[in-house]
Amino acid sequence: MSATLLAGALLALAPAQEPELVTLDSYHPFEPPASREEWEARRERLRRQVLVAAGLWPLPARTPLEAVVHSPLHRGDYTVEHVYFQSLPGFYVSGNLYRPTAPADGPRPGVLSPHGHWENGRFTELAEEADPGERFPLQARCTQLARMGCVVFHYDMAGYADCGQIPHGSGFTDVDAVLRGQSFFRLQTWNSIRALDFLAGLDDVDATRIGVTGASGGGTQTFVLCAVDDRPAAAFPAVMVSTAMQGGCVCENAPHLRVGTGNVELAGLFAPKPLALSGANDWTIEIETKGLPELKQLYGLFDAAENVTARCWPEFDHNYNRAAREMMYGWFNTHLGLGWKEPVRERPFEPLERQALSVFDDAHPRPEGAADATAVRAFWRDVAWDQLNSLWPEEEILGEHRVVIGGAWEILLHAEEPVAVSETREPRRPTDWNGVVVVAAHDGGPGDFAGNVEALLERGAAVTVVDPPAGPLPVDERRHGDYVGYTWGYNPTLLARRVAAIRVALAAAERVPHARSVRLYGHGDAGPWALLALAFTWTDVERTVAAWSWDFAGIDSFDDPNFLPGALRYGGLAHAAALCAPSELRVVSMADPPAVVEAAYAAAGADAAFRSQLPGAADELLDWLAAE
């Protein structure tokens, strides 16, 4: 980003360095906040960031689970049942429910148990291991927890085991899906929320004593669920949380998810609730020295440093080994109030074969008409449409529209804070300078931008010309071609950087000595950039003229410089521009003014402040923009 000095114009900004590409394999440290109050504000923003990245801000209404629980297998001191339910219409989450057989005085603790990217998911058998516990480590932890008095739900990732409706990682990686905030990360996160709904809703489960534990990709599911849902009481994400590799699957990544953050901080969103981590000879090997000390500091803000711990076993490769499992048993024993004598040792068990664990059989066939990716996408699109309609900015809803839709766009543009401004120079201004400073943004394309700037100067205004940051940003060459979330999950888009450049220029213009009014002009394809900057500037912008030259619905390529993941999920440019009310705004467009913008201005009592007009009245607009 830079500002160009024109004759009689203001030079406000020095060139900014191009950002360094961040990837999932970069170093992702966590710097704890200085105070609890600072963390509470940061936590709210980060939680919203995760939900927006998942397309789940705001959370949609829960559709009926219509759960089926059948065919208990009696295993002596525990049973294994077969479960499937609809996380959304036509999409079935499947798994096994482990229950103790011993009588209880009341509802039991529950444990939600997602699996990781083991080849057969819930059915995983490690053939090289002879010991049943190590050969069937997923069954081992569910069995032991049931024997300790917990009701355990072990559920499938989409595309694994019995949940085969959509192949894992597919179906949501094209341009339209990404623009609409549709992703495999969204599906998996929603499935986890609904799995928690199922478990917490069982009559024999105490919904205030629920733990969550999984390893690898299941570890990601664990800390993501605990970041966005307040119900879990204790968590143990194994071999996943670290300052190194952040998760290599499509299901663990989404645009916007880790911009400015990483897994250690995301796991810390659970504070001050009990959180334990395990590491192994993988990317988590340094968790005890990189991650745990910072989490201790964070938990210390709540006087709860004892509620977070981590242990690494470098002698083991990437897995949920017995040592880590026994650490988890002790953690849940303490924090779910299981009442077992410490240390808790895993007891031998007789594993079940795949056929016995499978949810579907001749008596309980797979439901007909199950939703594929196309059906899921159509349902999500309807949900988004209904949510946008419910937030139409009429007078009594205008504030909610700003909170919900504005809160989403703030994440998409990474515009939550005032921008930093470099030192400004005393402007070169005409002797008849009228005190108006116009920040003028252009796209470098055709059109008489230079002539319009000269016209503004002739009318007595000083002008800061914002050159658009060069693009595109380099992409993650290893993974970007498979899914753009691997790049835009860690880096702001080019569009976000261009909007930020305008925000910086506005903030600088406000600091010019003797300036009495800041105005904004967006020329050509920079017109929508100016609208987005106006919606999120901390500067008092008195008047804005912007070309409405394109909208997100017309974007059909990831290479489009205006590509912005999630933009259509949150109403496109129209709902973003509605956030500009009540600032005085003139848009130049060949189309009719968007009804939602007119509604927002009317609701703000500022009908006259917004006008849409056809191209061809440049002199009139320049007069209005530069006038005292």
Residue 335's Cα: distance from chain center in Å? 29
- pLDDT tens for 591-621 read 999 999 999 999 999 999 999 999 888 899 9
Burial class (CB in 10 A: 0-12, 13-18, 19+), 606: middle
CA dihedral 170, 175, 177, 178 (to 10 degrees): 100
- Tokens for 374? 């196309």
Which one-letter amino acid corresponds to residue 193?
A: I
| pLDDT tier for residue 427 given thresholds of 50, 70 and 90 | low
CA atoms within 13 A on the CB side of 182: 23
Can you tell me the mean pLDDT for 208-233?
Answer: 98
Residue whose entry in the numeric block shows the structure tokens 């989403």: 408
Separation between Cα atoms, residue 507 and residue 536, nearest integer Å: 11
Separation between Cα atoms, residue 177 and residue 485, nearest integer Å: 11
- The residue with greater pLDDT, 512 or 13, is 512
| pLDDT tier for residue 13 given thresholds of 50, 70 and 90 | very low
CA atoms within 13 A on the CB side of 483: 25
pLDDT at 430: 75
Outline which parts of the chain fall under CATH 3.40.50.1820.
2-14+419-626, 54-377
Burial class (CB in 10 A: 0-12, 13-18, 19+), 608: exposed
User: For residue 68, what are the β-bridge partners?
Assistant: 84
Separation between Cα atoms, residue 370 and residue 206, nearest integer Å: 32
Other Cβ atoms less than 10 A from the Cβ of 259: the count is 18
> What is the dihedral sign for C-alpha 472, 478, 481, 487?
negative
| pLDDT tier for residue 424 given thresholds of 50, 70 and 90 | low
Is 447 a residue whose pLDDT tops 50? yes
Is 138 a residue whose pLDDT tops 90? yes
Quick check: 304 and 338 in contact, CB under 8 A? no
pLDDT at 127: 75
Can you tell me the mean pLDDT for 478-506?
Answer: 96
pLDDT at 7: 35
| pLDDT tier for residue 445 given thresholds of 50, 70 and 90 | confident
- pLDDT tens for 27-65 read 999 999 999 999 999 999 999 999 999 999 999 999 999
Residue whose entry in the numeric block shows the structure tokens 């911009």: 259
- CATH number assigned to the domain covering 54-377: 3.40.50.1820
Separation between Cα atoms, residue 75 and residue 235, nearest integer Å: 27
| pLDDT tier for residue 468 given thresholds of 50, 70 and 90 | confident
Separation between Cα atoms, residue 278 and residue 312, nearest integer Å: 6
Is 1 a residue whose pLDDT tops 60? no
- pLDDT tens for 569-583 read 999 999 999 999 999
pLDDT at 397: 95
- pLDDT tens for 276-330 read 999 999 999 999 999 999 999 999 999 999 999 999 999 999 999 999 999 999 9
Mean of the per-residue pLDDT values for the chain?
A: 93
pLDDT at 53: 98
- pLDDT tens for 536-574 read 998 999 999 999 999 999 999 999 999 999 999 999 999
pLDDT at 17: 60
Burial class (CB in 10 A: 0-12, 13-18, 19+), 624: middle
Question: 608 vs 392, 537, 542, 548, 611, CA distance in Å?
Answer: 20, 21, 14, 19, 7
pLDDT at 37: 97
- Tokens for 93? 């989450």
pLDDT at 428: 52
Is 2 a residue whose pLDDT tops 70? no
Can you tell me the mean pLDDT for 418-431?
Answer: 62
Burial class (CB in 10 A: 0-12, 13-18, 19+), 611: middle
pTM: 0.95
| pLDDT tier for residue 9 given thresholds of 50, 70 and 90 | very low
Upstream peptide bond of 255 is cis (omega within 30 degrees of 0): no
Q: What SS3 string covers 303-338?
A: CCHHHEEEEEECCCCCCCCHHHHHHHHHHHHHHCCC
pLDDT at 16: 52
Give 2-14+419-626's CATH code, choosing from 3.40.50.720, 3.40.50.1820, 1.10.150.120, 3.40.50.150.
3.40.50.1820
pLDDT at 423: 55
Residue whose entry in the numeric block shows the structure tokens 């989409």: 158
Is 180 a residue whose pLDDT tops 90? yes
